[in-house]
Chain A
Amino acid sequence: MKKKEEKTLDTIITRRDFMRGTALGTLGLTLGLFDVESLAIPPPVAEKRGDSTEPVKSRTVLIRNQKVLGDGNVVDKKILADMLDKGMMGFAETKDAASAWKEFFHPSDVVGVKINLMVTPTHDELIELIVENLLGIGIKDENIFVWDRDQIGVGKKEMFSRPRRFGFDKDHLNKVVKKCTALINVPGMKSHWLSGVALSIKNWAGAVNNARVYHTEDCCSSLGELCTIPQIKAKNRLIIMDALRPLFHGGPSVDPKYLWNYNGLIIGKDHAAADTIALKVIQRQRSRYKREEWMISPPPLHVALADMRYKVGTSDLRLIDLVKLGWQKDALI
Chain B
Amino acid sequence: MSNFLPAGGDGWVKSGEMEVYDRNNLFDYMDGGAELYLAYDFQKLVVQRYSSGSTDASKGNSITVEIYQMNSSPDAYGLFSFDQEGEMVELGQKGVYGYGLLKFWKDRYLVRILGSQPDLRETILRLGGDVDEKIRGEGALPELLSKIPKDDLIPNSDHFFHKQILLNNLYFLSDKNILNLTDKTDCLLADFGFDGETLKLLLVEYPDLSQAKNAYQSFNNLYLKGEASETDKIVKIEQGKLVEADLKENYLLLVFEGTDRDIVLQLLDSVKNSLRQGGVSSQ
- Which residues of A are in contact with B by a Cβ distance under 8 Å? 12-16, 18-20, 72, 118-119, 149, 192-195, 198, 202, 205-206, 211-212, 215, 217-219, 221, 250-257, 295, 297-299, 301
A217-B163, A255-B99, A257-B86 as given contacts; A12 in contact with B175, CB under 8 Å:
yes
Shortest A9–chain B CB gap in Å is 8
With contact pairs A15-B174, A19-B237 given, residues A257 and B223 touching in the complex (Cβ less than 8 Å): no
Bin the interface of chain B by size: 35 or more
Contact (Cβ within 8 A) A253 B117:
no
B33: Cβ under 8 A from any A Cβ: yes
Which residues of chain A are within 8 angstroms of B114 by Cβ–Cβ distance?
Answer: 254, 256
Given A250-B83, A301-B175, 8 more contacts at CB 8 Å?
A: A15-B172, A15-B173, A18-B172, A20-B238, A195-B32, A198-B32, A297-B168, A297-B172
Kindly state the separation between the CA atoms of A255 and B85 in the bound complex, as whole angstroms.
Answer: 10
Query: Do B31 and A211 touch (CB < 8 A)?
Result: yes
Q: In the bound complex, do residue A14 and residue B99 qualify as a contact, i.e. CB atoms below 8 Å apart?
A: no
Chain B residues, CB < 8 A from A255: 83, 98-99, 101
Chain A residues within 8 Å of B163, by CB: 217
Question: Contact between A211 and B170 (Cβ–Cβ < 8 Å)?
Answer: no
B27, A212: Cβ atoms closer than 8 Å: yes
Query: Which B residues, 94 to 123, have Cβ-Cβ distances below 8 Å to chain A?
Result: 98-101, 112, 114, 117-118
| Contact residues of B between 1 and 57, Cβ < 8 Å to A | 27-28, 30-33, 35-36
Contact A211 B27 (CB under 8 A): yes
Could you tell me the dominant secondary structure of chain B's interface residues? mixed
**Docked-complex contact B239 and A19, CB < 8 angstroms:** yes
B274 touches A (CB below 8 Å): no
Nearest Cβ on chain A to B199's Cβ, whole angstroms: 15
* B164, CB-defined interface residue at 8 Å: yes
**B276 contacts the other chain (CB 8 A):** no
Interface check B268, CB cutoff 8 A: no
Q: How many A-B residue pairs have CB under 8 A?
A: 110
CA of A194 to CA of B170, assembled, Å: 10
Residues of B within 8 A of A193 (CB): 33, 36, 169
B66 CB → nearest A CB, Å: 9
Q: Are B99 and A221 in contact (CB under 8 A)?
A: no
7 sample A-B contacts, Cβ–Cβ < 8 Å, listed by A number: A19-B239, A119-B33, A149-B28, A194-B168, A211-B31, A215-B32, A295-B172
The docked-state distance in angstroms from the alpha carbon of A149 to that of B237 is 45
B222 touches A12 (CB 8 A): yes
Contact A118:B169 (CB < 8 A) given known A219-B175, A250-B83, A257-B86: no
Residue ID in chain B nearest A254 by CB atoms = B114
Query: Top 9 A-B pairs ranked by shortest CB distance?
Result: A19-B238, A256-B99, A298-B168, A257-B99, A218-B175, A252-B33, A14-B174, A217-B164, A13-B175
Residues of chain B within 8 A of A253, CB atoms compared: 30, 33, 36, 112
Complex CA gap A38/B233 in Å reads 33
Provide the bound-state CA to CA distance between A228 and B118, in Å: 41
A286 to B: closest C-beta gap in Å: 13
How many Å lie between the Cα of A12 and that of B112 in the bound state? 37
**Docked pose: A70 CA to B241 CA in angstroms:** 46
B128 → A minimal CB distance (Å): 15
Complexed CA–CA distance, A109 and B204 (Å)? 56
In the assembled complex, the Cα of A299 lies from the Cα of B36 at a distance in Å of: 17
In the bound complex, residues from chain B placing their C-beta under 8 Å from that of A299 are 172
